[in-house]
Chains A and B, each alone.
Chain A
Amino acid sequence: MKLQDIDVAVIGAGPAGMAAAIRAREAGAENVIIMERAEELGGLLHQCVHNGFGLLYFNEDLTGPEYGNRFIEKVMDTGVKPLLETMVVKLTEDRQIGAVNAKEGFITFRPKSVVLAMGCRERSRGALNIPGSRPSGVLTAGTAQRFVNVEGFLPGKRIVILGSGDIGMIMARRLTLEGAKVEAVVEILPYIGGLIRNEVQCLHDFDIPLYLQHTVTQIHGEERVTAVTIAKVDADRNPVPGTQRKIQCDSLLLSAGLIPENELSLMAGIRLDPVTGGAVVDETRQTNIAGVFAGGNVLHVHDLVDNVSWESELAGESAAKFAMERDLGEKGTINLKAGTNIRYIVPQTISGQRDTTLYMRVNEPQENVRIKIGDIMTKTVRAVKPSEMIKIELSSEKLQKVNKETKEIIVSCEKRGGK
């Protein structure tokens, strides 16, 4: 395959990138490459040795590597060309890609379409702005996960975890099984950041104390962490005086949010949604730059890999179509706007011409709600939580109700009955 003949170039070979590349091939694109900076395909799945993957997509309970392997095989079977140990360092407005690897050096080319699938990164200590000294032993849960599951090392033996994201809770269990003592999981919100199943299976089942509405107010230790101070927080998330408590520990793991990795997108001038941190896309997952698509965690942070795969297949299919036909037909002209208790909706715009799945998250947990998509449809839901993504299928039939002149549809989540 010559670089100048590439139809679809996928950046990133995690679950999103693999699904997009496979589907692009299946949809008829001839030359599809997948570019990955690591030595192998699979992205973060390799370090996720726990199960819970594929319950929806495969109807099976798989581990991360098992889930990944099914896609890796398919990448090979469908004739997608992987370009490993290759770091994309440049993306321009007109879809020029610049990448480096040790074999070919610095390569540049312009594929017919591009899928962004760079995933996300964890919020670091700096981004959390945690006061205190600057010792070693403060690391993100995902970094700890790599050390433990891939490299074969433990960061320490007395652990405090700040944030109750899924990776943090999973690492609480993992480190306990490795013989370390997890002294506390500290969450600033009144509810956990990850999935309920992880709270039950990773914290409760191992008697790991969870402190809701608490935060770390100070890190101690000059060279290595020696302790952290935690405190209760008020409704404005400010520490309540007098509730401070020092916990001796040698490591502080951070599991307080994921940020879509969009530096290349910014370089190319792709418009980002300030709430999701990912690109603004229409229902084909096309960004504001024609021929550039995005899917998976680079677009918005998912809680289930199954949805990442599905969403990215859509991006891959669109990319293939664009590569072959140079056009996707209708553009997204209707904006979906977040109303009451809705944090965001992806896609942000729709054309109103085809069946669409809306992904959304709420701001606050709420029970017995009705989710309203303008006045075209409502869906009743028993309980919603910020950590659990809501999926709503919107058929083109329903969309016919939409007036041609409509520029905006408000999506809201309201209490059922009464007001």
Chain B
Amino acid sequence: MSQIKTEVLIIGGGIGGAAIARELSKYKVDATLVEKGPDVGQGITKCSSTIMCQGSNVLEFRSEYHNSRLVWAGMTMMEPLCKELDIPLKRIGSLELIKNQEEMRHPEKMMRRFKEYKGKYIPDEVEPLQFIDRDTLRSWEPNVNKSYLGALYDPNIAVNDPVRLTIALADNARKNGIKVLLDTEVMSISKGTDEFEVCTNNGSIKCRYIINAAGEYVGKIAQMADADDFALYPVKSYQAVLDKKLGGIINHMVLSNENGMVAPTIHGNLFFGISPGTQRLGKAHDHSTDKKLADAALKNAQELVPGISERDITNSFVGFIVFRNFEIGWHECTVGVSRWVPRFINASIGFPGICAAPAVAKEMIDILRNQGLQLTENPDFDPYEKSMPDFSELSDEEKRQIIAKDPKYGHVVCRCETVTEGEIVEAIKRGARTLDGVKFRCRPGMGRCQGGFCGPRVTKILARELGISEEEVTKKGGESRNLLYKSKELLEAQQ
């Protein structure tokens, strides 16, 4: 068992932990990020709706929430961040649908509030909201249910791929000097006078500062250090991804109070989900989908967009949104130093936490300074990452060039998403060690057949590149091996 020492320990490699690590890497500091899984971005971040730059529709502009202010501050940070890290971001805009005369007052109220907050809480560059009447709504979105009377249009809303963003943030942090330890789970924490000793499955880590960015498990980690001066309210939320062939039927994110939302993803499919706040409490950490939730979500989505059918679902999953308890208020996050334990900083970033992450990361710098950490700039900081090639997005000429350079790009492994062996090998070079790790970097298995065709082939490539046997390849680390036995192994055992 190893023993290491670090000044700042970040627990959790979700968007929160990764954004904080990357922000810290702009300074000369000895910091380490630990993640229990084999890859970053595989917690709540993986389950998100991928909607960026949202400030209006979810939080209803309540300025007293710390969460709101972080989300609003983040609205103009996401785009430049994605540029630096070479992560595509697409502005799609959102349409909050109006059902009846009573709801007609809502847009006006929101537009008024927006004006009031602009410059004060909301950055100046953020574009104003607009009311869209029924005819405009129909011409913009002919496939939306015709019964809606109009919509509140927010042109700022964008989509990106939060897992790729998280991977890029972690890669960039690592490049700029932050240590990233995967497969490292925090098991317990003991407090010394001016130091914590953190026990993990891979040895112990001594540190002066802890940033608790464990997502769904933020309460559990805080408890380990008796820093749980908050109570959480986890809300189970459901999402389903639809076949790419429905991709073009909706162009904006469309949502309604009762019926959740339908939106395009950055990769060209549609997905739908029940928005938080309309769901009852799920059993904490139970990540299974259930039929009731799935049926309700489908019915809701069909209410918004009647052309959606169950047989076009290619994948569905649930995630937990971590809010504060009721007394504090639904939409509050837990970002700040524990009131009980100095130098123990919680970074539970609530909803929409991906939007808030860049602002949370900036705030962490101030908090750490306030807690006595000396931070001077890292003169060697390099803010840029180059994302890996996406074969399916290349022009015919670019396709020719890349295959000429490396024939592996001429071998298509995943037929649904047109992913080549070249991309898979590159993803493994960049740190993918599991089927999910490959899938979230370059998408084999994300399409309509869900890996039925490419699964055996990706398994083979992973085994070859990592120098392991095919049976050792896992879906997502731990006990998730895909192939349990060799042919004849069971028969031999029976003899």
Query: A-side interface residues toward B, CB under 8 Å?
Result: 37, 85, 87, 89, 98, 100-106, 108, 121-122, 124-127, 129, 131-137, 139-140, 142-143, 146-148, 150-157, 178-180, 217-220, 222-224, 239, 250-251, 261, 263, 266
Contact = CB atoms under 8 A, between A and B. Distances in A.
* Top 9 A-B pairs, shortest CB-CB distance: A179-B490, A102-B410, A136-B475, A102-B407, A87-B412, A124-B450, A126-B315, A223-B479, A106-B399
Given A124-B450, A136-B474, A155 B482 contact: yes
B456 A85 contact: no
Given A136-B476, A151-B460, 14 more contacts: A87-B412, A100-B403, A124-B314, A127-B313, A136-B435, A136-B482, A139-B455, A143-B451, A151-B456, A153-B470, A153-B487, A154-B489, A179-B490, A251-B484
Contact of A223 (B399, B470, B480): B480
Interface in B432-458: 435, 448-453, 455-456
Given A121-B449, A125-B450, A179-B493, A134 B287 contact: yes
Nearest to B488: A178
A136 B493 contact: no
Contacts of B478: 223
Contacts of A223: 475-480
Interface stretch (B12-20, B109-117, B289-297): B289-297
A114 B412 CA distance: 21
Contacts of B452: 121-122, 124, 139-140, 142-143
Nearest to B416: A263
A143 B455 contact: yes
B288 A133 contact: yes
Contacts of A137: 482
Contacts of A151: 456, 460, 470
A106 B409 CA distance: 10
Contact of B412 (A100, A154, A239, A263): A100
A251 B452 CA distance: 15
B101 interface: no
Contact of A155 (B404, B416, B484, B489): B484
Interface string B403-417: 110011111100110
Contact of A154 (B317, B403, B487): B487
14 contacts: A85-B410, A106-B410, A121-B452, A124-B448, A127-B313, A127-B448, A127-B450, A135-B480, A156-B484, A179-B488, A179-B489, A180-B490, A217-B291, A263-B245
Contacts of B1: none
Contacts of B245: 263, 266
A89 B418 contact: yes
A178 B494 CA distance: 11
A106 B486 contact: no
A217 B489 CA distance: 31
A148 B411 CA distance: 24
B328 to A, nearest CB: 31
B59 interface: no
Contacts of A224: 479-481
Contacts of A178: 487-488, 490-491
B6 to A, nearest CB: 29
A131 B288 contact: yes
A5 B420 CA distance: 29
B400 interface: yes
A244 to B, nearest CB: 12
A261 B475 CA distance: 26
Interface in B223-255: 240-241, 245
B299 to A, nearest CB: 13
Given A129-B294, A153-B485, A217-B291, A143 B456 contact: yes
A89 B470 CA distance: 29
Main secondary structure of the interface of B (DSSP, over half): mixed
A87 B491 contact: no
A122 B484 CA distance: 22
Contact of B403 (A105, A143, A220): A105
B410 A101 contact: yes
B108 interface: no
A140 B482 CA distance: 13
For B241, B475, B484, the residue with the greatest tally of chain A CB atoms inside 10 Å of its CB is: B484
Given A126-B314, A154-B486, A178-B487, A121 B453 contact: yes
B369 interface: no
Contacts of A98: 396
Contacts of B451: 124, 143
A180 B484 CA distance: 11
A167 to B, nearest CB: 11
A262 to B, nearest CB: 9
A101 B111 CA distance: 54
B466 interface: no
Interface string B81-113: 000000000000000000000000000000000
A137 B435 CA distance: 13
B314 A154 contact: no
Nearest to B314: A126
Contacts of A85: 410-411
A196 B184 CA distance: 52
B494 A179 contact: yes
B455 A37 contact: no
Contacts of A131: 288-291, 294
A220 B290 CA distance: 12
B456 A147 contact: yes
Contacts of A261: 415
Contacts of A179: 488-491, 493-494
B471 interface: yes
Contacts of B485: 153-154, 156-157
Contacts of A125: 315, 450
B410 to A, nearest CB: 4
B439 to A, nearest CB: 12
B287 A133 contact: yes
A105 B400 contact: yes
Given A108-B396, A154-B486, A122 B288 contact: no
B490 A136 contact: no
B135 interface: no
Nearest to A37: B412
B311 A157 contact: no
A100 B415 contact: no
Nearest to B397: A106
A148 B245 CA distance: 32
B204 to A, nearest CB: 26
Q: Which of B245, B291, B452 has the most CB atoms of chain A within a 10 A radius of its CB? A: B452
B450 A153 contact: no
A156 B484 CA distance: 5
Given A154-B485, A219-B288, A105 B399 contact: yes
Give the one of A102, A104, A220, A224 with max B CB within 10 A.
Answer: A102
B310 interface: yes
A100 B450 contact: no
A100 B476 contact: no
Nearest to A90: B396
B187 interface: no
A344 to B, nearest CB: 16
* Highest count of chain A CB atoms <10 Å: which of B290, B403, B404, B494: B403
Given A100-B410, A102-B410, A153 B486 contact: yes
